[in-house]
Amino acid sequence: MPFTIQDFLKKKKEGRKITMLTAYDYPSARIVDEAGLDAILVGDSLGMVVQGLENTLPVTMDEMIYHTKMVARAVKNAMVIGDMPFMSYQVSLPEAVQNAGRFLKEAGASAVKMEGGAEVAEHIRALTKSDIPVMAHIGLTPQSVHRIGGYKVQGKTEQAAKKLIEDAHIIEDAGAFSLLLEAIPMNLAKRITEELSIPTIGIGAGPHCDGQILVLHDVIGLFERFVPKFVKQYANMKDDILKSVKLYREEIEKGIFPSEEQSFK
Ligand code: KIV
């Protein structure tokens, strides 16, 4: 039975950590699922780590649906969450419901994630009323990169921290089933986690959240443009792949591959 939003809440109540990673295609989603992660986010970070874009803003709904379908096809146990891209929900509530609905109806996701605090409370309400579970996302929200002025830690001043705490409560009241906290001080994340009854999922938010997410390409060392401070790399796939591909080229050039072993008689 795949992981559900009820399992999110159950894990928080039982004090067990919720484990999440991103994935964007069939082979990587199969691996993440096989490794036993609770949920997979098909993040709009795919714009940067897969498409090579400067930021996530140009990613379209159709692209998100395309990637989410591949991930959902691969997964047996993890919950698949589709990320609402920039301008897929900001314009109007009906558009937000229609676009979020596509993740469940066309792509096989079980929930969506949406960036924003109090300003998207009505959106969360509208989606939840339409049976579309919502994971909210506050702190560093990459779709606001131009307003924020870069990818900076949020909630550092007393006023900014107060606003994030207020946002967290508004989001919970609006019906979100969980809240992603990105790049905020760990004590602030701890306070929000303790005050909310829905689980918090941290990325750059310290060890006290109810769960954790990172971008897969960061974890396996496949995105080299920059590595945020909050990332822990568990492998260096860029080097491993480069070594294999170089060896392949060299063996062709030297006449080592293909040999009789890889040939038909
Ligand atoms: O788009 C994404 O992958 C995200 C994660 C960084 C949480 O929002």
pLDDT digits (tens, 9 = 90+) for 194-253: 999 999 999 999 999 999 999 999 999 999 888 999 999 999 999 999 999 999 999 999
- 158 has catalytic annotation: no
As a CATH number, domain 5-234 is 3.20.20.60
Q: Does the pLDDT of residue 57 top 90, yes or no?
A: yes
Rounded Cα gap, residues 92 and 60, in angstroms: 16
The pLDDT confidence band at residue 133, using thresholds 50, 70 and 90, is very high
Beta strands in the chain (DSSP E): 18-22, 39-42, 79-83, 111-115, 134-139, 178-182, 200-203, 211-214
Ligand 1 nearest-atom number relative to CA 201: 7
- The one catalytic residue in 54, 115, 166, 182 is 182
For 228-237, the pLDDT digits (tens) are 999 999 999 9
What's the mean per-residue pLDDT of the chain?
98
CA of 162 to the centre of ligand 1 (A): 23
* Domains of the chain by residue range: 5-234, 237-265
pLDDT of residue 47: 98
* Torsion from C-alpha of 152, 155, 160, 162, nearest 10 degrees: 160
Ligand 1 nearest-atom number relative to CA 182: 7
Average pLDDT over residues 17-39: 98
| CB proximity list for 193: less than 8 A, separation 6 or greater | 200, 208, 209, 210
| Main-chain dihedrals φ then ψ at residue 179, nearest 5 degrees | -135, 120
Rounded Cα gap, residues 218 and 143, in angstroms: 19
